[in-house]
Amino acid sequence: MFVFTNSLLDNMSIPKKIQAYIYSRKLPTDIVGYSNGSVAVSLPPPADPSNPRDGEKSAWYSRANHDERMRRVVDRARRGCTKKLLYKRIPVLTWLPQYNLSVAASDLVAGFTVGLTVIPQAIAYANVAGLPPQYGLYSSFMACFVYTIFGSCKDSPVGPTAIAAILTRENLHGLGPEFAVLMCFLCGCVVMLMGILQLGFLIDFISGPVSVGFTSAAAIIIATTQIKDLLGLSFPGSKFLDVWEQLFEHISETRLWDTLLGFACMAILLLLRRWVYPSDHILGFACMAILLLLGWVYPSDHILGFARVAILLLLRKAKDIPVGPADTNKRTTLQKVLGQMLWLISTGRNILVVVVCAVMAYTFKLHDVEPFLLTGYVKPGLPPFQPPPFTATVGNTTYSFLDMTSSLGSALFVVPLLAILENVALAKVFSDGRAIDATQEMLAIGACNILSSFVSSMPVSGALSRGAVNHASGVATTFGGIYTGILVILSLYLFTPYFAYIPKASLAAVIVAAVVFMVEFHVVKPMWRTKSEPGCNFGSVFRSFMELDLIPAIATFLSCLFIRLELGIVIGIGINILFLLYASARPSVHVEKVTSSSGCEYLLITPDRSLVFPSVEYVRNLVTKAGMKEGSSCTPVVIDSRHIQGADFTAAKGIKSLIEDFVKRNQPILFYNLKPSVVEVFQGVQPKEFKHCHNEAELNELLKVYFKNNALDYAATGAGSL
């Protein structure tokens, strides 16, 4: 490199990296250029630190700052490549070295138990989603394998769920399985991105009432979509109102007495759900036997459909039948074996009912009798491992990637949020007090959906019902999902010819029996009790109404039921946010007349929350009104600020205007218990006559000075609340 003086240079410029190098070395000012062979360029004069913009450039180009920036980058990279973080992001590395035969045995039992549960549910959920039955099974094995590696909750079996299935159905519009597979892929990408950006806090905006309203509405919609299969009817329509309208139009196609008997038996069995004594179980099993006998003598989808629901509800409680003493250590071997058998029957009730019904249908088929609507052909074998479809042809219409994504609409954001919510809620239920890493769960669910889409899966998430089975089965690690996935793969290879004989009514019964308990009527009373007692004025009554958690719950429920599920949950979240904004804009302000220890009387005003821009004008008007009405425009006003944890510029401007109003009336206003940070915000707008005190002694002194100077003597007249 050759360096020249000013006299030898042209009007060209040196690259910024070379400038930074020369300036950082503090070379003489007459050395202002360099030559690259035959090329000479000019160097602009060094940056003047006194000039703000030049000073910034000089600081940016300085060697010290460059080294500091590089050090920060390297430190961040090192923190991102630690062994601790690797174990945190790939949890399988934590427990795999300690894996042994005892743990493997626990996982094997739990994995196969969950597998027996998921197989009939997967076929049924595919029907809920409006997909061929094999797509439910396609959704049930890859996610199990992926979650084994990346999942942090051992009890969470990832696969198809009722919520994901009904959302898939509502957004497919009958366009075909390709759209469901693409939805799975895109939802996985959204969840993964949220995990990388640590946006898990977004699920905090889905409150309990909104979640209750959504879940209850989804359960009713799911059960509604299964009514036609439960009654052996066939008609178009999947919306809540459409199904009921079509049901009444086709009611003549049913055998009325079968339907009446079926509904009566279902009502009895639902009433007998909470049994206590063994005699109750005997009565329930007797009702079930009568239904089965009637169904065998008079083959009818109606009777057998409700009988299957009855069986599932009965078997659900079979594990609660007392066998021997309550203390398990005092039970005999026979009692222990019998208890385990009842537990296994209760846990595997879905597969048991489906198999029995399929055997019955196959028996009728052998005698050339087909009294039931059957599932039909199920494609055998595994799907090809290939990327999800980014184009699709439905009929004579070809959809591009943009067309497919636009048709899926808001589901691409609602389904991921609900998938995260379901899985995090499941992880919290079985966490045993451990902290839940929501970011890791999002990364795991995202990976499950992305990789599952390569095997033609619909959106997947953790299922609470199967999680309870997994936990009760004694699962030790997430490796139980491997055994579940293997069982699903075996069923695809070996049992698909027999799946064709499963009656649709039995699958509908599996769904109805699963979702009937998702309708959370029991939370209505507690939500009503949590409301605050209204005061005697309209403002207090309206504030109490706005604090009622039933409002967002009911709004979400009705919106989901009669509009759309994803739109309903957005409406519920919007109403909740509106309530939060109202609470922020309309704080409660308590007003009372107080006599100090020195005998000075004043008006004490206490806001119950921080002052921010939506509430400052409201508080200002209330304080002004109280000062003029309660304090007769002369009594000192003291604002107790112990609840004011923060304030903003707009609040400071409002306080300044409030002080000026009081000064004009010659009415003193004092601030008590102000936080130092809030004092700094208020003083930032330079209010005149801003007086504040930190303790009661200072307050008494200020009041004494005021009363001494003005020689006031007022009597206390009571207390009120605004």
Query: What pairs with residue 611 in β-bridges?
Result: 647
Q: For residue 20, give the 3-state DSSP assignment.
A: helix
Q: What is the pLDDT of residue 520?
A: 81
Confirm if 177 and 492 have CB atoms less than 8 A apart: no
For the CA atoms of the chain, what is the radius of gyration?
35
550 vs 574: CA distance, rounded Å = 14
303 vs 231: CA distance, rounded Å = 8
Q: What is the pLDDT of residue 299?
A: 54
Q: What is the pLDDT of residue 76?
A: 67
Angle, nearest 10°, between helix axes 162-172 and 411-429? 180
101 vs 30: CA distance, rounded Å = 79
How many residues does this entry show for the chain? 722
Task: Report the chain (722 residues): mean pLDDT per 10 consecutive residues.
Answer: 42 51 48 45 50 48 62 68 81 90 89 88 89 93 94 89 88 87 95 88 81 87 80 73 82 59 46 40 51 53 60 58 61 71 68 78 81 81 93 87 88 87 80 78 94 95 83 87 94 89 78 78 78 52 60 89 86 87 84 81 85 85 83 78 86 88 85 86 84 81 74 43 41
What DSSP string describes 187-244? HHHHHHHHHHTT-GGGGGGS-HHHHHHHHHHHHHHHHHHTHHHHTT------SHHHHH
Q: What type of residue sits at position 75? A: D
Contacts of 418 (CB under 8 A, 6+ apart): 163, 164, 167, 214, 461, 569
Confirm if 222 and 511 have CB atoms less than 8 A apart: yes
Tokens read off for 329: 């250590």
519 vs 162: CA distance, rounded Å = 13
Nearest to 90, CA basis, from 141, 151, 157? 151
What domains appear along the chain, each with residue ranges and CATH number?
Answer: 6-79 (no CATH), 256-299+301-370 (no CATH), 587-721 (3.30.750.24)
pLDDT, one tens digit per residue, over 502-522 is 877 777 777 777 778 788 888
Tokens read off for 322: 């007392």
Contacts of 567 (CB under 8 A, 6+ apart): 410, 559, 560
Tokens read off for 608: 């119950």
Tokens read off for 473: 């089965």
Confirm if 611 and 619 have CB atoms less than 8 A apart: yes
Which helix (DSSP H) or strand (DSSP E) does residue 640 occupy? strand 637-640
Angle at 477 between CA 190 and CA 486, to 5 degrees: 75
Largest interatomic CA distance in the chain: 113
Tokens read off for 677: 């940070």
Q: What is the pLDDT of residue 486?
A: 95
Confirm if 165 and 489 have CB atoms less than 8 A apart: no
Which helix (DSSP H) or strand (DSSP E) does residue 490 occupy? helix 480-494
Q: What is the DSSP letter of 608?
A: S
Q: Determine the distance from the C-alpha atom of residue 515 to the mean position of all C-alpha atoms in its chain, rounded to a whole number.
A: 19
Cα-Cα end-to-end distance for the chain:
80
Tokens read off for 84: 């601790």
420 vs 527: CA distance, rounded Å = 24
Q: What type of residue sits at position 137? A: L
Which helix (DSSP H) or strand (DSSP E) does residue 671 occupy? strand 669-672
443 vs 452: CA distance, rounded Å = 14
Confirm if 171 and 226 have CB atoms less than 8 A apart: no
Q: What is the pTM of this model?
A: 0.71
Paired sense of beta strands 601-607 and 637-640, if any: parallel
3-state secondary structure 34-99: EEECCEEEECCCCCCCCCHHHHHHHHHHCHHHHHHHHHHHHHHHHHCCCHHHHHHHCCHHHHHHHC
Q: What is the DSSP letter of 383?
A: P
470 vs 31: CA distance, rounded Å = 76
Sign of CA dihedral 561, 562, 563, 567: negative
Q: What is the pLDDT of residue 24?
A: 52
CA neighbours closer than 13 Å in the CB half-sphere of residue 429: 19
Nearest to 309, CA basis, from 323, 297, 295? 295
Nearest to 632, CA basis, from 656, 601, 607, 655? 601
Contacts of 125 (CB under 8 A, 6+ apart): 136, 139, 160, 161, 162, 164, 165, 511
Q: What is the pLDDT of residue 287?
A: 56
Q: What type of residue sits at position 557? A: F
pLDDT, one tens digit per residue, over 255-288 is 554 454 345 445 444 444 443 334 444 445 545 5
373 vs 299: CA distance, rounded Å = 11
